[in-house]
């Protein structure tokens, strides 16, 4: 299970201000605590900060990777920003992941040259010109199309991360189930393709969000989830993820669970 830290996103007011003010210390501390919490990649997004957006992205990538030796998930709606992030990325720390391509022709056309040039891993969202489908069948169809487009361009299956698009359960009581069925359908058809979710989207607008996030994480893992963008400073959530891996048969003789317990990383309830 790849855990990607979610907190360096400029849609958060505090992070937006850190970027605009070039607050190196605060950005680096936010990067550090996420890696210490168990993140093995960090999602970074500078798009909503004022100023030169491409320069903001380069600054953020370099600032973060001066203190944490992990690859980054470079998150932007702008292909030029993504390319600047890839250009600044320290590839000795691992392969960068870009977030994201979609089934929309314009998005494919703008990002494929970048993907080919940098040979990065790719998050692919199951949406196209029709928007976000309300059922798993069409989401899987879009996923199949995107997998074909990416692999035809030389992207290995293992570098494709399909995002089934987690939408708030408060908007529709079927949103959680649609994501779970999409994950299962993709993994059945393409075992080597990765699946990824932005976990906190499921609980948006509801009380006690952490409880909803934690339970949904367990459900998604049982359906075949490989990767999640989460808050790795939430010790209870990280304990649940580690314990779930053990119970799902992905921890030989409970070795990782025992190690985490001895290191104080298993949180009591």
Extended beta strands in 27-179, E state:
41-45, 72-75, 97-101, 121-125, 160-163
- Band (241; pLDDT cuts 50, 70, 90): very high
CA distance 244 to 19: 36
- Band (122; pLDDT cuts 50, 70, 90): very high
CA distance 2 to 122: 14
User: Mean per-residue pLDDT for 92-120?
Assistant: 96
* pLDDT one-digit tens code per residue, 124-141: 999 999 999 999 999 999
Task: Report which of residues 266 and 126 the model is more confident about.
Answer: 126
* pLDDT one-digit tens code per residue, 36-82: 999 999 999 999 999 999 999 999 999 999 999 999 999 999 999 99
* pLDDT one-digit tens code per residue, 246-259: 999 999 999 999 99
The confidence score (pLDDT) of residue 269 equals: 66
Global confidence as pTM: 0.96
Q: 95 exposed, middle or buried (CB, 10 Å; 0-12, 13-18, 19+)? A: middle
How many residues are present in the chain? 269
């Amino acid at each position: 299970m790849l855990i990607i830290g979610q907190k360096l996103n400029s849609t958060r007011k505090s992070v937006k201000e850190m970027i605009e003010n070039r607050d190196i210390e605060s950005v680096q501390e936010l990067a550090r605590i996420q890696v210490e919490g168990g993140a093995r990649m960090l999602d970074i997004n500078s798009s909503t900060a004022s100023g030169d957006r491409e320069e903001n992205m380069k600054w953020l990538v370099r600032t973060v990777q001066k203190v944490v030796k992990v690859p980054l998930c470079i998150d932007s709606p702008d292909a030029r920003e993504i390319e600047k992030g890839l250009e600044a990325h320290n590839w000795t720390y691992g392969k960068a992941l870009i977030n994201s391509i979609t089934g929309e022709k314009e998005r494919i056309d703008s990002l494929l040259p970048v993907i080919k040039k940098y040979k990065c891993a790719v998050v692919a969202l199951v949406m196209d010109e029709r928007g976000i489908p309300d059922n798993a069948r069409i989401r899987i169809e879009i996923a199949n199309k995107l997998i074909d487009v990416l692999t035809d361009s030389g992207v290995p299956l293992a570098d494709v991360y399909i995002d089934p698009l987690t939408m708030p359960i408060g908007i529709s009581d079927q949103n959680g189930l649609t994501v779970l069925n999409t994950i299962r359908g993709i993994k059945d058809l393409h075992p080597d393709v990765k699946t990824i979710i932005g976990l906190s989207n499921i609980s948006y607008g509801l009380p006690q969000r952490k409880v909803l996030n934690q339970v949904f994480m367990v459900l998604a893992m049982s359906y075949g989830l490989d990767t999640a963008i989460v808050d790795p400073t939430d010790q209870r959530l990280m304990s649940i993820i580690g314990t779930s891996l053990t119970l799902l048969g992905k921890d030989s003789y409970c070795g990782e669970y025992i190690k985490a317990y001895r290191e104080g990383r298993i949180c009591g309830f």
